[in-house]
Amino acid sequence: MKQYPIQLGTFLFTMVEPHAGHEVEYNRWYERDHFYGGCMELAWNFAGDRFVATKPLQDLRYPADSPITPAPNVGPYLAVYWVSKGHHDDWNDQSVVRVNELHKGGRMFAERTHIHTALYDYVWSWQATENGTNPELALDRDYRGLVVNVGELAEGKSFADVEAFTAEWAEAHKGGAGSPDLIVQGTLLPLLDDAPPDVPRIPNADRRFLQLHFLDHLPDEQWAEGYGTFGADLEASGAAKHLWTGPFIQTVFGTDTYTDQLR
């Protein structure tokens, strides 16, 4: 079977800043309630995972002036959720209902700020090997590292130009610095009008794209020779303006690991 019925259609990307002094409380609330109650219980939400950027990883983020986060050390926690192809509207409608219910039920966490929370349409992927991990399994693979790259199309360019550049970049780095195992790219989807008001709206949404580069190694390994140059390489290609690059690692579910390494 070349085409399996479980297919990725859209995904939720939510990067959050717990307020100082509330890191442990936030981490416990998110993984013990909101990860499941806010998303994983919903129909058509077939996978999810959590990531974190410790202070050393935050120090690798660039550029410092970016529309993704007001400063490199803001937004250490990231959650990503996969939604089944053909069911985005079903999932989106019920997710807004659920979050509003959680607000009314006192099951939200006030001591946090949404830094970049957005919905993306899955449009393209690259795999290091033909029979490697596909996008649908990425969040269950427990990859050691994740690098997020965000850009905005240049005038006269298309997302196909970005994909061609990215595939060429990945092939050039295969087995060396950077060396992604899987890349998933999405384009921005608009929020519903009744989405929670604490989720910021994004300008130039029709030109924005976000890439998730899944790694078998820690993201800071050979950073300077690999992902440290991704932004410059993207801009040199002429396909897009580079907006942000940031590395993450997996959280450790059921523990407070890394909550003391965020500042």
pLDDT tens sequence across 196-234 = 666 666 667 889 999 999 999 999 999 999 999 999 999
Whole-structure pTM value: 0.94
Residue 201 β-bridge partners? none
Judge residue 68's burial from the number of C-beta atoms within 10 Å of its C-beta, 0-12 exposed, 13-18 middle, 19 or more buried: buried
CB 221 within 8 Å of CB 144? no
Fold category of 8-250 in CATH: Alpha-Beta Plaits (3.30.70)
Distance CA 170, CA 160 (A): 15
Place of tokens 């384009």: 187
**Structure-token pair, residue 160:** 């196909």
How sure is the predictor about 178, in pLDDT bands with cuts at 50, 70 and 90? confident
Question: What is the β-pairing status of strands 208-215 and 182-189?
Answer: antiparallel
Segments making up each domain of the chain, as ranges: 8-250
Question: Residue 253: which residues within 8 A CB-CB, separation 6 or more?
Answer: 31, 50
pLDDT at residue 31, as a whole number: 97
